[in-house]
Structure 1
Amino acid sequence: MSAPETPREQRRPSAEEPRIARTREALASGLWELLQENELADITVAALCRQAGVHRTTFYGHYRNILDFAASVYADVVNGLGAVNVDQRGTGRTQEEVGVLYAEALRRILVHTFAERRVYRALFHTGTFHAVLADGLRPRFLLALYAWQAYGLVPAMDCEVAAAFLGGAYASWIEQWVAGEDDDVEAWLASLPDLLPGWWPRDGFPGV
């Protein structure tokens, strides 16, 4: 008989974590409020901290500047909109159903980034947001690749490398969307299948 496993010590949440989360939420709310009447480049740390009721030393303890914070906030928004309720085996769903879920997630991202196009243009103009967004999208694509792998669709490849590549490609695709004047979400989404690998499912895309 094998010896029983030694119980693993559970990680206890730091007492600081809820406070940090509340601070970030207050700063994010303050940023969105200020952006209603101001350009991102015109918002100062002092103004944001006044709006959020947060001390500047607290802000600088986590972020270098307004652009650094805004990039983090907006990348998280895109990442959240890209979330799909699928595990890495696609359990309980058909390939077609999973494909539709991913297409719907992309549609949500396009609708949101169009509505906030002014801010996303400013963020991409910094030259650093692309990398932040790509890094945030990478885990989403890794999950998608594992799901497609479970359906036998993915050719022999390093999924980590492929996920990083796709994260960067999609960040560029979103950047082109917000940089242009096109407002047709469905047409932009319909253009994506031509850019995807041949084995990537097309379920859920307009016109497919």
Structure 2
Amino acid sequence: MVDARILNTAAALNAAIVELASKQPVSRITVSDVTREAGINRATFYAHHSSPSALLASVLTSDLDEVRRVDAEERAAGEREPSLITRDAVASTAAHIDRFLPVYRLALSDRTDGTTQHVLASHLEVSCLQHLRDSVSPDRVPGDPALVAAFVANGLVGAIALAATSELWDKDRVADVLMAMMPAWWD
């Protein structure tokens, strides 16, 4: 069983970085800013994370990992049409962006720090590669699966970045557009 103090510290750190990163890019957030917001000391911060960017990456990755977990479970169950499962994963990714929209808006506009873009691209790349290996017949994949996964993931990130940093953001509309961009052979 995990100590309640550790859980409380993690929750305070997570809330602090989301609050701070909603107001300014993570590249300008200091450890002192996070510790002050979370009500903890520097030693405690460094016991959990190496930097504000690493903390933000952890928060976003944890939320995105849940999207991948649900997708994998649904595909393994085999009870639903694969294209509907993909649609749900895309919609869940758009909902993730929506939950953290102020963070993404600032982060994806910040040319001095690529933490958030890297987190999103890495998550999508791993998810795409997992999908290609587990759910798409190898003869349908037009080349090296790792290259295809990187291409699809980074294309999705580019489209998400444009939508999230403009007035175009509407999670449902963005999910519809992202689904329309997916290769026809995907499912």
User: What do residues 153-201 of structure 1 show as CA deviations (whole Å, max 9, x unaligned)?
Assistant: 7335322332233332222222122112124333322222443223123
Which of the residues 62, 86, 101 maps onto 2:85? 101
Tell me the distance in 1 between the aligned counterparts of 2:56 and 2:76: 36
The alpha-carbon deviation at position 87 of structure 1 amounts to 5.7
Superposed, which structure 2 residues align to 1:40-119 within 5 Å?
40=25, 43-60=29-46, 63-86=49-72, 90-93=75-78, 97-119=81-103
User: What do residues 51-110 of structure 1 show as CA deviations (whole Å, max 9, x unaligned)?
Assistant: 43433134235544323422332233233234334369x44416x623212211221222
Q: 1:66 to 1:99 in 2, by over 3 A?
A: same
Tell me the distance in 1 between the aligned counterparts of 2:5 and 2:127: 25
Q: 1:97 to 1:193 in 2, by over 3 A?
A: same
Partner of 1:166: 152
User: What do residues 1-43 of structure 1 show as CA deviations (whole Å, max 9, x unaligned)?
Assistant: xxxxxxxxxxxxxxxx97997344431133345567x445575
Tell me the distance in 2 between the aligned counterparts of 1:167 and 1:142: 9
- Count of equivalent residues: 182
Contact 2:68 2:89 in 1 (8 A): yes
Larger radius of gyration: 1
Identify, as 1 or 2, the structure richer in helix.
2
Tell me the distance in 1 between the aligned counterparts of 2:20 and 2:116: 20
Tell me the distance in 2 between the aligned counterparts of 1:79 and 1:91: 16
Q: 1:52 to 1:35 in 2, by over 3 A?
A: same
Tell me the distance in 2 between the aligned counterparts of 1:129 and 1:118: 12
Scaled by the length of structure 1, the TM-score of the pair is: 0.67
Other structure's SS at 1:108 match: helix
